[in-house]
Structure 1
Amino acid sequence: MRWWPLGASALLALSFKALGQGAIHKCLQPDGVVLYSDQACSMAHGNLALSVSGYADYPPLLRGLAKVWHEQVQPLFGGVDLLPYLALLYGLMSLVCFFAYWRDKRFAMRGARRTPEARLHLYELLGGWPGGLVAQRLIRHKNRKLGYQLTFWSIVLLHLLTAALVLWLAHRP
C-alpha cells in the first residue's frame, strides 16, 4: 500500500506517532495558518510567532540574537553604513595602542614607571588590537610573555568572532 495518498496532515500525524510523540494537535491560528504540533494549541501559538517571523531558518542558538539585531539594533542606525565608522574607530584605537606599546617599551628601557598591562589590554579590547599586533612585531614588545599573549589573542579572537557574527546577521534577510 502506498502511503502518500493519505494527505499531508495524515502523513504528518502518522510520522509524529511513529516517533513516539503522542497526540498531535491541529491548531488553526488567527491568521489562517494551520500548525501541527505535539503541544496544546495554546502553547503552539506562542511558538508560531517565531516560526513565521522569518527567524525559523536561523540556528536555534542565534534566533533570539537575530531578532534583537534585526528589530532593535539595525533600526537605530537608520540605514547608515557603519563600516567606515568602524574602520575609523579601529584605526584611531590602533594608533593609541601602538603609541602605548611604544611608550611602555621606552619606559621599560629607562626603568621608569610602566603602563599597566590591563590598560594595554583595554586599548586592544576597544579596537586597538591591530596596532598592538604591529607594535609587538615592529618594536618587539610584549611578544614573549605567555600570559600576556594568551589574553591578547583571546581579545583578537573575540573581535574576529564578533565581526563574523555581525557580518553574517547584517547580510541575512
Structure 2
Amino acid sequence: MRLLPMGAGALWLLSARVQGQGTVHRCLQPDGVVLYSDQACSMAHSNLALSVSGYASYPPMLRGLAKLWHEQLQPLFGGIEVLPYLALLYGLMSLVCFVAYYRDKQFAMRGARRTPEARLHLYELFGGWPGGLLAQRMIRHKNRKLGYQVRFWLIVLSHLLVAAAVLWLAYWPESRLALL
C-alpha cells in the first residue's frame, strides 16, 4: 500500500495505469485525506490505522502495554512532563525511607518498639528504595537479614523494570526496534 499526497497520488495513478498494475482505488478518509491504494478502501483504511498508530512496530508482547501507555495513561498527565515529578517523588520518598531506617536503628539500639518491616517495605515500594539502600550502606541497618534483603531487591527490580518500560515507551520510541 502506498500513501501519497494528492499531487503525487495522481502521478502514481498514472504510472499504475501505464505499468498495468490493475485497479487503483481512490479512498476518501473521514478526515478528508484522499488515499490512493491498490487495495480495496476497507483494507487500505485498516492497514493505514495500524501503520499510523505506531503499535505495529512494537514487538507483539509489548503492543498492549504501548497502547495502554499512549492512549490511557499518558493523556491523564495532560501534556505535563512526568519525569521531574517522578524524580521529586523518588527524592521525597527516599528521604522518608532513610529517616525510617535511621529511627528503626535508634529504636533497636535502645531496645524500644521497632518499626515494622512491612512499613519499611511499603516506603520502598512507594519509591523510597534509593533511601533504603543508602541507609543500609551508611548506617548498616537491615543489611544482613536474608528475608528482608530478598524482598528489598525484588522491590528494586520491579521499580527498575517499570522505569525502563516507561522511559522506553515515553521518551525513546524510536529505539523500540533497536533493542530487538
User: TM-score if structure 2 supplies the norm length?
Assistant: 0.69
Paired with 1:59 and 1:29, the residues of 2 have a C-alpha distance of 27
Which residue identity lines up with residue 53 of structure 1 in the other structure?
S
Partner of 1:10: none
User: 1:76 deviation in Å?
Assistant: 1.6
2:62 aligned with 1:69, yes or no? Answer: no
Matched to 2:170, the amino acid is: A
1:113 aligns with 2:105: no
Deviation at 1:32, TM superposition (A): 3.1
- Structure 1 residue 70: deviation in Å? 0.8
Task: State the Cα distance separating 1:78 from its structure 2 match.
Answer: 2.0
* Residue in structure 2 matched with residue 169 of structure 1 by the alignment: 169
1:156 aligns with 2:168: no
1:112 Cα shift? Answer: 1.0
Partner of 2:58: 58
CA distance in 1, matches of 2:44, 2:75: 29
In 2, the alpha carbon distance for the partners of 1:93 and 1:154 equals 18
Residues matched between the structures, number: 136
Separation of aligned partners in 2, 1:31 and 1:59: 22
Identify unmatched segments of 5+ residues in structure 1.
Answer: 1-26, 34-44
**Distance in 2 between the 1:133 and 1:105 partners?**
14
Whole-Å separation in 2 of the counterparts to 1:139 and 1:102: 7
Moved over 2 A (4+): 47-53
Q: Distance in 2 between matches of 1:32 and 1:157?
A: 43
Aligned residue type for 2:70? H
Residue ranges of structure 2 left out of the alignment (5+ in a row):
1-38, 175-180
Percent identity between the two aligned chains? 78
Distance of 1:84 and 1:32 partners within structure 2: 41
1:32 aligned residue: 44
- TM-score normalised by structure 1 residue count: 0.72
Alpha-carbon distance in 1 for matches of 2:61, 2:83: 26
Q: What is residue 140 of structure 1 aligned with on the other side?
A: 140
> What residue number does 2:97 align with?
97
Q: Separation in 2 of the partners of 1:119 and 1:147?
A: 15
Q: CA RMSD in A?
A: 2.2
- Aligned AA (1:133): L
